[in-house]
Amino acid sequence: MEWEVVIGLEVHVQLSTQSKLFSGASTTFGAAPNTQACAVDLAMPGTLPVPNAEAFRFAVMFGLAMNAEIGHRSVFERKNYFYPDLPKGYQTTQLAEPIVGPGEIEIHLEDGSSKKVRLHHAHLEEDAGKSLHEAVFEEGHGMSGIDLNRAGTPLIEIVSEPDLRSAAEAVAYLKKIHSIVTYLGISDGDMSQGSMRCDANVSVRLKGEEELGTRTEIKNVNSFRFVERAIKVEAERQIDLLEDGGTVVQETRLYDSDKNETRSMRSKEVANDYRYFPCPDLLPVELSDDYVEQLRSELPELPDAKSARFASEYGLSAYDADQLTQERALADYFETVAKASGEPKLAANWMMGELAALLNREELSIEQSPVSAEHLAGLIERIKDNTISSKIAKQVFEAMASGEGDADTVIEKRGLKQVSDTGAIEQMVDEVIANSARQVENYRNADESKRPKMMGYFVGQIMKASKGQANPQMINKILKEKLDALL
């Protein structure tokens, strides 16, 4: 039996507005507990919500980037449930009339293919606070703490149609969302800090079947890698269950990354009746066409457009262009290097080679790169003007990475400048020829077609003598002249 996995994702993205969705309190991450919660966030009696215009601006920008319909009228509703980190006893969210309607984006898969994924809708809502169950108080046996700093932080919840067919597609979709929100500058997209969180709806069905299988929802998976593993392991669980003649129960499950398994949450959660109704403290928000068109005209260049431009303008392969445009900071870095050095292909090669390896090894983001775009461009220029060879350049790159300054400083300080002085190279060539009587003899006796290959030995010896600094083109030229003179 061949099974098909069907996945829909609900992605929560925290918007990087200065203040909260309905209050003036700051949204900065990591402050001491309850220092960023005002009377509104604490749901003190008589306090009222006032919508944050910036959050609307961000949500509309997102909708436009997703090629989605924009809700010119959006309505906040109350989703009622009791939890200690939900101060009002309801979450203010959108249901019937969300800010962003249906849309569609293209995702790019590792095999080079791409696929369209439909957006069901995206809505604005407020985040809850946090319940802290572990050792909050030094003497607090069995006590839980509540931190309301996060309560009221604006979120957009992005709901896809069940269009994804594998864990890899789900990750590609998630990366696309990440790339769009960071390009737009509406979120830092930091999954480790919870700025982006993902719930996955997973079901399986026999290939060719039309009807969807019973789905489970995996809650709050917080990294790309875990999303992939959680979906895989959940799909496998469902397939095993069905193949053994069992049935899938519609429920919410949690992914345990240590054991790499999903576990059922109590079904009480599923039985909740949230009693949604329009929030009477907030009027419907109406957005004019002018407002939306203004935002459309201000949208930055988005990943797909940038990738296409990089391919045509800089002559990059589609793959390279795609890789370099996944993150806006990476793309900006590339353009700086490409423009400053005038060598876009070298820039791409260096970024996807040495730089990627360095960042990966040091676990740094492009923003934290110890080698700045200007420094990398300087290095490429020195390769271009033959001051150093590509091989020496790697040495210079490592030195720049450990903070030894820009390329020129490193080359100067370490004396790595390529030797391009004809006299000096001639002298080295003469010495190697004089010390290699046997190889010279072989060269002379060899068939003409084999001679170019045999030159490699002499070049290697000369490079060694010059500590790699001799200009290879010049070595080749002078060596050939001298060897041919011996024929």
Partner 1 sequence: MHQLTIAEIIRGLREREFSSVEITRQLLTRIEQLDREFNSFITITAESALEQAEAADRCLAAGGAPALCGVPIAHKDIFCTRGVRTSCGSKMLDNFVPPYDARVVEQLQAAGTVSLGKTNMDEFAMGSSNETSFYGPVKNPWNPEHVPGGSSGGSAAAVAAQLVPGATATDTGGSIRQPAALTNTTGIKPTYGRVSRWGMVAFASSLDQGGPVARTAEDVAYLLAAMSGHDERDSTSLNRPVPDFAAGLNDDLAGLRIGVPKEYFGEGLDGDTASRVQDALKEYEKLGAKLVDISLPHTGLAVPAYYVIAPAEASANLSRFDGVRYGYRCENPADLRDLYMRSRGEGFGEEVKRRILVGTYALSAGYYDAYYNKAQQVRRLIKQDFVQAFEQVDVIMGPTAPHPAFRIGEKGDDPVAMYLEDIYTLSANLAGLPAMSLPCGLVNGLPVGLQIIGNYLDEGRMLNAAHRYQQATDWHRATAPYAHAGGDQ
Positions touching partner 1 (CB under 8 A) are 39, 42-51, 78, 80, 82, 84, 87-90, 146, 273, 275-277, 280-283
Of 47 and 166, nearer to partner 1 (C-beta) is 47
State the Cα–Cα distance between residues 171 and 179, nearest whole angstrom: 12
Could you tell me the smallest distance in angstroms from the CB atom of residue 49 to partner 1?
Answer: 7
Contact 253, 267 (CB under 8 A): no
> Which SS3 state, helix, strand or coil, does residue 374 take?
helix
Could you tell me the smallest distance in angstroms from the CB atom of residue 180 to partner 1?
Answer: 30
Could you tell me the smallest distance in angstroms from the CB atom of residue 38 to partner 1?
Answer: 10
State the Cα–Cα distance between residues 42 and 457, nearest whole angstrom: 78
Other C-beta atoms within 10 Å of 169: how many?
19
Tally DSSP H helices, then E strands, for the chain: 16, 15
Could you tell me the smallest distance in angstroms from the CB atom of residue 133 to partner 1?
Answer: 11
Of 246 and 284, nearer to partner 1 (C-beta) is 284
Of 50 and 318, nearer to partner 1 (C-beta) is 50
State the Cα–Cα distance between residues 313 and 342, nearest whole angstrom: 12
Could you tell me the smallest distance in angstroms from the CB atom of residue 152 to partner 1?
Answer: 13
Long-range contacts of the stretch 291-299 (C-beta < 8 A, 24+): 291/60, 292/60, 292/64, 292/70, 292/72, 295/57, 295/60, 295/61, 295/64, 296/64, 299/61, 299/64, 299/65, 299/184
Of 75 and 425, nearer to partner 1 (C-beta) is 75
Could you tell me the smallest distance in angstroms from the CB atom of residue 274 to partner 1?
Answer: 9
Could you tell me the smallest distance in angstroms from the CB atom of residue 56 to partner 1?
Answer: 13
Could you tell me the smallest distance in angstroms from the CB atom of residue 280 to partner 1?
Answer: 4
CA atoms within 13 A on the CB side of 399: 19
Bridge-partner residues for 94, per DSSP? Answer: 76
Could you tell me the smallest distance in angstroms from the CB atom of residue 57 to partner 1?
Answer: 17
Of 43 and 358, nearer to partner 1 (C-beta) is 43
> Which SS3 state, helix, strand or coil, does residue 71 take?
coil
DSSP H or E stretch at residue 320: helix 318-324
The residue type found at 209 is: E
Residues 6 or more apart whose Cβ sits within 8 Å of residue 339 = 377
Of 282 and 454, nearer to partner 1 (C-beta) is 282
Of 49 and 213, nearer to partner 1 (C-beta) is 49
DSSP H or E stretch at residue 358: helix 356-362
Of 272 and 390, nearer to partner 1 (C-beta) is 272
Contact 384, 372 (CB under 8 A): no
**Residue found under tokens 């290095």:** 379
Of 276 and 457, nearer to partner 1 (C-beta) is 276
Of 35 and 368, nearer to partner 1 (C-beta) is 35
Q: What is the dihedral of CA 439, 442, 444, 447, to 10 degrees?
A: -130
Could you tell me the smallest distance in angstroms from the CB atom of residue 42 to partner 1?
Answer: 6
Other C-beta atoms within 10 Å of 222: how many?
16
